[in-house]
């Protein structure tokens, strides 16, 4: 367990030193890299040992904080998430150094470095915390560090707005968590996680309260559907490496919290499991539908995070269903699907955010419609982005498919007693989500990387340096490796799921056997497809070796003066699908069509605001403001009346107490 | 000795009441000075076992600070901002006198029920201190001028001192010195702030400060 402390300390010390060294940029950079490397080595060893079955005993230190013990421990569930934190944290941190240098001072280096390291360190501590108070401290540190990252470029008003929105949301979530732990702690008589598990069962009403509080508290961070409002604002506002860490890991911490709580408190009711599945599917459909309609590619990625969180939640809900039915096999399968998809999502989403950051820095805008033709100008970045996009769509030779496949096979498993209607509906929803994801990401990749450049920035774009490409390549390689050889990742996911289910290794190994065989075959097929494509490509280049290949301009449909702006746009690409969901999307369009025989100016603009943030929330907040304006009358600035309040209060207290 | 202290205490209450009914600022300051002098003498009369040099020193310090130094600062402040005799009470003089009388009654009732050491039960010290605190509070609440609020604060502070005297006969002198220093600094700062308020708002009415609220 000391290894975890070493990792967290390395990150913390590196954060402090990089802050102190803000004058010496090169030193600060080396310190950050050294800190990340130290954390990776120490944490990686710990993860390796834990997953290999040589679990270290828990570390218990008396603590000055009342009611708390500094208690950290490590099981497969923690190790699984720690692995994600370390991989994504190190890749994004390394990339971040290149990104900060490449931003030419737009991103303030010192806070970006400091808060990033604090964020990674807090998450590493969070997954190991075995005491509610320690958990909350790590949770809040993580949330505040992320706030620091979101509002890095606080010179821009939209960034400040996003930062404040995020801060509000995270505090609402933390408040729910505080209430949750207070409830559990008062029942158990201690804030230790182990005592929660040993405590007598709560009455039904309090169980429902615990469920709701956990759902809101952790869901606010994870971004379940009506609680996602900060995600699509904060991710575009943060520097790209920070949004990679936030989207790839931090929001998953909400799911870690839910899973940890499940492992402590045992199964939820059947209705709650159905509710979780339904919530997950709604979140996923919502996320991907709105992702399709976006023009800002980081915003698109943020919505796609909501979609993936929905898929993960669906998996977790299916696991809960298994638990509620005392069918441990189903429970394992559901949770393993959720955890595997969490790992995969962390990898490909951070890869996509990192490549989006590279594109943003090269082109100078996040507008999809202003990019284009980048495949020829930034071949590495775009190639890696293509891998990420294919993976996130769940296309078979890559890792995105594996997690989703586990969830599918849960749903399509015949004769396991649950309503076939429910399963069919869920499977249909999942496949719709997959299809929409393909639409959204073919739009994202196709419009940024293919075609002709639509702006000056896109015309002069170049690949970034290796310090940015290297981490992206590593993430992409991991995506491919898990896709082709899934058994190791499957092993990890099942081990973690068995911690949630709390089941003996025997059932675990039996089910693992079945699924790893199947997935290995799929992986082999994928490898075969890859090898075949490589062969065909080699064959083609061999055939073309002696011949001259000419590149001609794209056919301009006979226009005399074609411009690159006449290409397919993102809105036109996604129009067939967005029209179907027009009622839900409520895209605002401003159309000035060309009129008459000699049309002058014509314009078209569309924007898809978030419904929860811009339509539903204001209804609530205006009501709240009305209520809150009543006590505001007390705050009128008259000193005398303030004194009167104080003295009246004191006299009343005196009279009451005597 | 005992009778002298009771007399002084009655005089202190009387002075507080007088303050509530007085309209002249300079008059008020002088009355507070007088009250401060009475407070300085009071510990000498309360202590039955006679004088010792420490007590004498403290009494002298109290006497000079509350009787001369603080009033001088306040007089300086109102000379600087050029106001003499206007009090703009939120509650008129007669009503505030009546309220003050009612507060004295309340404080006697409170003192009856307050759990205090047995020897103090009969003494006037507790009710007088409570009454002084309340009247100082009332003064702060009912007046608009910053100077009169400082005066109210001083009266309030005097009441707190009286209460301290009642609770602990042997207040360690370092604490008393600390309290004295505290009051002096507070009044000093307030005197300066009054000047600044006058400069910023062309008036020392705290009513104008509402503009600072959002």
* Range A480-507 average pLDDT: 80
Contacts of A647 in chain B (CB under 8 A): 134, 137-138, 141
Number of residue pairs across A and B with CB atoms under 8 Å?
Answer: 36
Determine the pLDDT at residue A344.
92
The ranges assigned to domains in chain B are 2-212
Q: Which of A205-219, A483-497, A633-647 has the lowest mean pLDDT?
A: A633-647
CA distance A644 to chain B (A): 6
Nearest residue of chain A to residue B130 (CA atoms)? A651
- pLDDT value of residue A309: 93
Report, as an integer, the average pLDDT of A615-637.
Answer: 82
Q: Alpha-carbon distance A353 to A301, whole Å?
A: 7
Query: In this predicted structure, what is the pLDDT of residue B50?
Result: 57
Give the span between the Cα atoms of A230 and A457, in whole angstroms: 29
pLDDT of residue B174: 64
From chain B residues 58-97, the ones with a CB under 8 A of any chain A CB are 90
Neighbours of B176 (CB within 10 A): 19
pLDDT value of position A416 = 59
Residue A77 CA, chain-centre distance (Å), reads 18
Name the pLDDT band for A430 (thresholds 50, 70, 90).
confident
Q: Minimal Cα distance from B116: which residue of A? A: A658
Through-space distance between the first and last CA atoms of chain A, rounded to whole angstroms: 55
Phi, psi of B205 (to 5 degrees): -75, 125
B132 touches chain A (CB under 8 A): no
**pLDDT score for B175:** 66
ipTM value? 0.75
Low-confidence residues in chain B, pLDDT < 70: 1-2, 46-51, 83-88, 116-122, 167-175, 188, 195, 199, 201, 203-214
| pLDDT (0 to 100) of residue A506 | 57
Q: Report pLDDT digits (tens) over A282-327.
A: 999 988 888 888 888 889 999 999 999 999 999 999 888 888 888 7
pLDDT 10s digits, A115-139: 999 999 999 999 999 888 899 999 9
A67: left (phi over 0), alpha (psi -120 to 50) or beta: left
Calpha distance A178→A176 (Å, rounded): 5
Residues in B touching A640 (Cβ below 8 Å): 90, 140-144, 206
Rounded to a whole number of angstroms, the distance from the CA of B213 to the nearest CA of chain A is: 5
Query: Whole-angstrom Cα distance, residue A561 to residue A542?
Result: 38
Given CB atoms, is A620 within the 8 Å cutoff of chain B? Answer: no
The rounded distance, in Å, linking the Cα atoms of B100 and A344 is 75
Rg (CA), chain A: 26
Mean pLDDT of A330-341: 88
Q: Long-range contacts of range A282-285, CB-CB < 8 Å, 24 or more positions apart? A: A282/A225, A282/A310, A283/A223, A283/A224, A283/A225, A283/A228, A283/A307, A283/A309, A283/A310, A283/A313, A284/A308, A284/A309, A284/A310, A284/A311, A284/A314, A284/A429, A284/A430, A284/A433, A285/A310, A285/A429, A285/A432, A285/A433, A285/A436
Q: Please check whether residue A270 is in contact with residue A418, taking contact to mean a CB–CB distance below 8 angstroms.
A: no
Q: Determine the distance in angstroms separating the CA of B37 from the nearest CA of chain A, rounded to an integer.
A: 27
Taking each continuous run of H as one helix and of E as one strand, the counts in chain A are: 27, 4
pLDDT tens string A9-64 = 899 999 888 888 878 888 888 898 999 999 999 999 888 888 887 767 787 888 77
From the list B81, B102, B107, the residue with the least C-alpha distance to B25 is B81
Interchain pair A635, B213: CB under 8 A: yes
Alpha-carbon span B35 to A358, nearest angstrom? 76
Nearest CB to B114: which of A641, A651, A658? A658
């Amino acid at each position: 367990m000391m290894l975890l402390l070493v990792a967290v300390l390395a990150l913390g010390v590196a954060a402090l030193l990089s802050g102190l060294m803000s004058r010496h940029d090169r030193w600060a950079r080396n310190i950050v890299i050294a800190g990340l490397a130290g954390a990776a080595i120490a944490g990686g060893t710990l993860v390796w040992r834990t997953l290999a079955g040589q679990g270290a005993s828990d570390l218990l230190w008396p603590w000055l904080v009342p009611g708390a013990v500094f208690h950290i421990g490590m099981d497969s569930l923690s190790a699984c998430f720690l692995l994600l934190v370390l991989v994504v944290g190190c890749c994004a941190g390394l990339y971040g150094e290149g990104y900060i240098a490449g931003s030419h001072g737009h991103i303030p280096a010192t806070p970006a470095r400091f808060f990033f390291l604090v964020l990674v360190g807090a998450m590493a501590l969070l997954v190991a915390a075995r005491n509610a108070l320690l958990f909350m401290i790590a949770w809040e540190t993580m949330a505040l560090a992320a706030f620091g990252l979101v509002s890095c470029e606080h010179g821009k008003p939209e960034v400040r707005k996003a930062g404040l929105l995020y801060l509000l949301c995270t505090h609402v979530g933390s408040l729910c968590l505080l209430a949750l732990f207070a409830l559990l702690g008062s029942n158990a008589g201690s804030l230790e996680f182990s005592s929660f598990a040993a405590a007598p069962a709560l009455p039904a009403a309090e169980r429902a309260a615990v469920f709701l509080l956990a759902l809101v508290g952790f869901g606010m961070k994870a971004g379940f559907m009506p609680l996602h409002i900060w995600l699509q604002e904060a991710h575009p506002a943060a520097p790209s490496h920070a949004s990679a860490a936030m989207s790839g890991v931090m929001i998953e911490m909400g799911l870690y919290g839910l899973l940890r709580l499940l492992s402590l408190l045992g199964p939820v009711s059947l209705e709650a499991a159905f509710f979780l599945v339904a919530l997950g599917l709604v979140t996923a459909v919502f996320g991907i539908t709105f992702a399709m309609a976006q023009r800002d590619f980081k915003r698109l990625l943020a919505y796609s995070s909501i979609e993936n969180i929905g898929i993960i939640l669906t998996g977790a809900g299916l696991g809960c269903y298994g638990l509620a039915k005392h069918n441990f096999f189903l429970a394992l399968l559901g949770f393993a699907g959720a955890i595997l998809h969490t790992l995969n999502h962390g990898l490909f989403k951070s890869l996509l955010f990192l490549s989006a950051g590279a594109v943003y820095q090269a082109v100078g805008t996040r507008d999809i419609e202003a990019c284009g033709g980048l495949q020829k100008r930034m071949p590495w970045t775009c190639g890696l982005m293509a891998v990420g996009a294919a993976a996130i769509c769940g296309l078979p030779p890559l890792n995105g498919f594996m997690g989703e496949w586990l969830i599918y096979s849960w749903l399509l498993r015949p004769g396991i007693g649950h309503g076939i209607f429910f399963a069919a509906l869920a499977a249909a929803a999942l496949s719709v989500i997959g299809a929409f994801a393909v639409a959204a990401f073919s739009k994202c990749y196709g419009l940024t990387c293919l075609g002709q450049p639509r702006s000056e920035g896109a015309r002069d774009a170049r690949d970034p340096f290796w310090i940015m490409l290297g981490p992206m390549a590593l993430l992409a390689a991991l995506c491919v490796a898990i896709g082709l050889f899934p058994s190791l990742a499957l092993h990890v996911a099942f081990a973690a799921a068995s911690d949630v289910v709390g089941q003996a290794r025997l059932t675990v190994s039996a089910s693992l056997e079945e699924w790893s065989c199947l997935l290995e075959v799929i992986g082999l097929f994928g490898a075969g497809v890859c090898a075949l494509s490589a062969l065909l490509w080699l064959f083609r280049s061999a055939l073309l070796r002696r011949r001259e290949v000419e590149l001609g301009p794209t056919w301009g449909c006979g226009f005399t003066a074609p411009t690159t702006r006449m290409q397919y746009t993102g809105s036109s690409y996604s129009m067939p699908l967005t029209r179907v969901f027009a009622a839900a999307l409520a895209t605002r369009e401003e159309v000035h069509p060309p009129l008459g025989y000699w049309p002058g100016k014509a314009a078209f603009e569309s924007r898809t605001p978030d419904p929860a943030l811009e339509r539903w929330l204001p209804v609530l907040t205006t009501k709240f403001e009305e209520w809150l304006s009543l006590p505001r009358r007390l705050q009128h600035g008259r000193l005398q009346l303030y004194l009167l309040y104080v003295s009246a209060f004191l006299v009343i207290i005196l009279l009451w107490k005597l | 000795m005992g009778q002298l202290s009771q007399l002084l205490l009655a005089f202190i209450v009387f002075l507080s009441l007088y303050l509530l009914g007085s309209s002249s600022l300079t008059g008020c300051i002088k009355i507070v000075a007088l009250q401060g002098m009475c407070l300085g003498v009071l510990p000498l009369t309360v202590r039955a076992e006679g004088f010792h040099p420490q007590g004498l020193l403290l009494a002298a310090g109290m006497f000079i600070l509350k009787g001369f130094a603080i009033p001088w600062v306040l007089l300086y402040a109102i000379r600087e901002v050029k106001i003499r005799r206007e009090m703009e009470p939120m509650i008129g003089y007669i009503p505030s006198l009546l309220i003050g009388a009612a507060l004295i009654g309340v404080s006697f009732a409170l003192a009856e029920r307050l759990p205090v050491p047995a020897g103090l039960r009969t003494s006037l010290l507790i009710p007088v201190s409570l009454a002084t605190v309340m009247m100082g509070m009332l003064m702060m609440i009912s007046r608009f001028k910053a100077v009169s609020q400082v005066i109210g604060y001083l009266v309030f502070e005097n009441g707190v001192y009286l209460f301290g005297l009642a609770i602990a006969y042997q207040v360690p002198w370092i604490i008393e010195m600390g309290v004295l220093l505290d009051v002096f600094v507070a009044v000093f700062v307030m005197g300066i702030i009054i000047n600044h308020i006058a400069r910023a708002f062309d008036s020392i009415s705290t009513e104008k400060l509402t503009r600072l609220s959002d």
